[in-house]
Amino acid sequence: MTMLFHAHSGLRYLVLLAGLIALVWFLVGALRGKPFVRPAPAVLATLTGLVDLQSLLGLILYFGGRTPPGIAGHLALMLSAVVVLHLASVMRRRRPQPGGFGLPLAGVALALALIVLGILSIGRGLV
């Protein structure tokens, strides 16, 4: 379990990096009025996949007995971030046309805020 904990703990940096890249990419796309076309969907999918992996590792740790103080808030915030990212992705795909960057930008911004709050809720630092 210790190795899994270190993987979960270290993966947060990759999640935060991918989130910041997506946030900046989508903000620039929104400001330029570009359609949400390649490679932007891959950026969103990469972030969503990393957050999914991080959540899976976290759930394995939780059900494996690792329950530090503040874990309930951490779980609620992180699972909310997963839901937000998946909703943004699904809603974007269901549009008849590619659409803009507004919805993905809002989804990534909200998910990143939830992730940061989730990290802080268990007393961990962002760096």
Contact 15, 82 (CB under 8 A): no
Which burial class, exposed, middle or buried, applies to 62 when counting CB atoms under 10 A from its CB (0-12, 13-18, 19+)? middle
Q: What per-residue confidence (pLDDT) applies to 123?
A: 87
Q: Name the 3-class secondary structure at 65.
A: coil
In a domain, 22, yes or no: yes
Q: What is the pLDDT of residues 12-37, one digit of tens each?
A: 999 999 999 999 999 999 999 999 88
Domains in the chain, number? 1
In degrees, rounded to 5, the angle at the alpha carbon of residue 108 between the alpha carbons of residues 124 and 103 is 160
Residue 45 and residue 89 in contact, taking contact as beta carbons nearer than 8 Å? yes
Q: What is residue 52's predicted lDDT score, i.e. its pLDDT?
A: 98
Look at residue 7 and tell me whether its pLDDT is greater than 80.
Answer: yes
Residue 127 placed within a domain: no
pLDDT of residue 66: 86
Can you give the residue range of the structural domain that contains 59? 2-121
Centre a 10 Å sphere on the Cβ of residue 127 and count the other Cβ atoms it contains: 4
Q: Domain for residue 109, yes or no?
A: yes
Does 126 map to a domain?
no
40-71 pLDDT per residue, tens: 999 999 999 999 999 999 999 999 998 888 89
* C-alpha dihedral (97, 98, 103, 109), degrees to nearest 10: 170
56 lies in a domain? yes
Look over the chain and give the mean of its residue pLDDT values, rounded to a whole number.
94
**109 or 96, which is more confident?**
109
